[in-house]
Amino acid sequence: MPNLKRLEIFSVDSGVTNLLPGCPALKELMIMEITEDNLQYMGVTIQSATITSLIIKNSTVHTSECYGKVYGVKINLPQLRYPQIQGCLTNEIISQLPASLAETDVSFKMNITTEEGCYYSECELYFIESLSNLKCLKFSSDKMHSENANFRLREFIRFDNLTKLDISADGVLVKKIIESADNLEVIILREVDVHLRDWLEPPKQVPRCLSSHLKKVRIDNFASTMPEFELLQYLIRNGRVLNKIEIISLTP
């Protein structure tokens, strides 16, 4: 298939390793599902020198071992610029994505739920840090970032190129990204976490983007709670160049 530009695959098995070399013009690859059942103790390699867009709709793969050999998913896409990955990500998949990306849409889902919650792994946080050169980041996660957890974003990491942030995550992580993104112009908050109230308590410093660049804020799933109204008041009071606030109510 020498002229194929876009390929959609429902589920992945080892056959994809032999398929991709026959598509020398392929630019976009969509995989609907990667599961343990697909692999059946056989490794899968997603390798191409031309693919720039990769979409994985549902990933529940964990690296497995059989007879002393490790099996899983290997990604070798040096030209990848636009990944969209949803599902239960594993360190093995995340660590193979190239660090230099144009924009990304990533979803971290927790694999194990405990009473203490599920924190980001060291590899997941390193991957988030590798996105620091992006201009546009769409990110969702039901994991938690905590100053008291074993792993956290390093203080020197900056998101100075970031101009648009679309995020649904715990307030600690959201706050850290926004505070390190001085040129942020658009923020889309899919929900308001209670930890965002830390901004409201003096002597906390107002994020620089809010006083110099932030023009638009959108808040989804607005439930008319006190923390949400306090955040709105804070944005209006400190947003010197803010000219648009959109509020999407949780109920019609």
Asked if the peptide bond before residue 203 counts as cis, ω within 30 degrees of 0, the response is yes
Domain boundaries, the chain: 6-196
> pLDDT (tens digit, 9 = 90+) per residue, 47-82?
888 988 888 776 655 444 444 443 456 778 888 877
- CA 83 – CA 98 distance, rounded (Å): 10
Indicate the pLDDT class of residue 17, thresholds 50, 70 and 90: confident
CA dihedral 180, 184, 188, 191 (to 10 degrees): 20
pLDDT at 113: 40
Instruction: Compute the Cα dihedral for 87, 149, 131, 187 and give only its sign.
Output: positive
> Could you report the per-residue pLDDT of 74-116, keeping only the tens digit for each?
778 888 877 777 765 555 555 556 666 667 766 665 444 444 5
At 112 the pLDDT is 41
More confident residue, 134 or 197: 134
Name the band, by pLDDT with cuts 50, 70 and 90, for residue 148.
Answer: low
Answer yes or no: pTM beyond 0.85: no
Kindly tell me the burial class for residue 231, based on how many C-beta atoms sit within 10 Å of its own C-beta (0-12, 13-18, 19 or more): buried
What are residue 59's DSSP bridge partners? 34, 87
From residue 45, alpha-carbon distances to 76, 90, 203, 230 in Å are 7, 15, 51, 49
Q: What pLDDT shows up at residue 100? A: 60
Task: Name the helix (H) or strand (E) containing 141.
Answer: strand 136-141
User: pLDDT tens across 185-221, in order?
Assistant: 999 998 887 666 666 655 467 889 998 999 999 999 9
